[in-house]
Amino acid sequence: MIRTLEDLRTRLGEIRGADRSDAGPRVALVSTLGALHDGHVDLIREARDLADVVVVSTFVNPLRFRTADDTAAYPRSPESDARVLADLGVDAVFAPTVEEFLPAGTATTRVSAGDIGLRYEGRVRPFYFDGVLTVEAKLYHLVRPDVAIYGERDLQRIFLVRRMVRDLDFPIEIATVPTVRTDDGLPVSSRVALLDAVDRRAAAALPRALEAAASNSDLGVDSCIAAAQSALMGEPRITLEYLSVVDPETFLPVDDGHRGRAFALIAATVGGHRFIDNAEISLR
């Protein structure tokens, strides 16, 4: 368990040794906010398959949140996390304080996510992706991983991270892992456990909406969206924030003439908790 930047550099230096050639150990980074669940476990297992050394960050990034109170409210389970990480054989866990990792606080230099960072999730939280990319870039600089692993539930994050890696010439491979789901189809997250039984049943309509969109993909984008909306009708406990079909290459909404691969994105609030999800579809 590493708390300081100096100790992180020391530990990684020990791991890499004097060998700085391509023959040195392959390092994987899994960036989390802690409160680990089965989805994180899959990321770490994939990291173990892809690399010799696995580094996990559990830093709760305040740049992702609107206020200090929102940051403080984020669930934390350090003892449970430590047991999970030990059982998985993680080589280094980076868990710095905010003062250590971001000494300038929220006034720190930022990486801009650009126009795509202001759409979908960014429309609701315009600060969010700048905060995500800023901390990811700093982790890349400190850890110097060969590969970083992300869950496909956060498709917009993956798109923006890949673009940052390309634009800023980070020599890093970005790998992804399919979304881990509960028995009722919801993506596994810390928020699912906070739902009561009534809201949990309502929330299950979200993955059903994506299934409806995929089932109507041969009828075009308008039919996909209409089918998803119909699947949400009759669930007054769901407040839909956005429902979009986007081009994987640009992450912009597809037009009527789009054919081939696309992603359906959905975000909604249920019982006071936000959920995001997505599904790959094929427009014909």
Q: Residues marked as binding for ATP?
A: 151-154, 180, 188-191
> Is residue 40 among the annotated active site residues?
yes
Binding-site residue numbers are 151-154, 180, 188-191
**Hey, what are 119's tokens?**
């759409």
- 3-state DSSP of 49-104: HHCCEEEEECCCCHHHCCCHHHHHHCCCCHHHHHHHHHHCCCCEEECCCHHHHCCC
How far apart, in whole angstroms, are the C-alpha atoms of residue 251 and residue 262?
Answer: 9
Contact 159, 186 (CB under 8 A): no
Tell me which of 40, 141, 258, 273 is the catalytic residue.
Answer: 40
Q: Which residues are catalytic?
A: 40
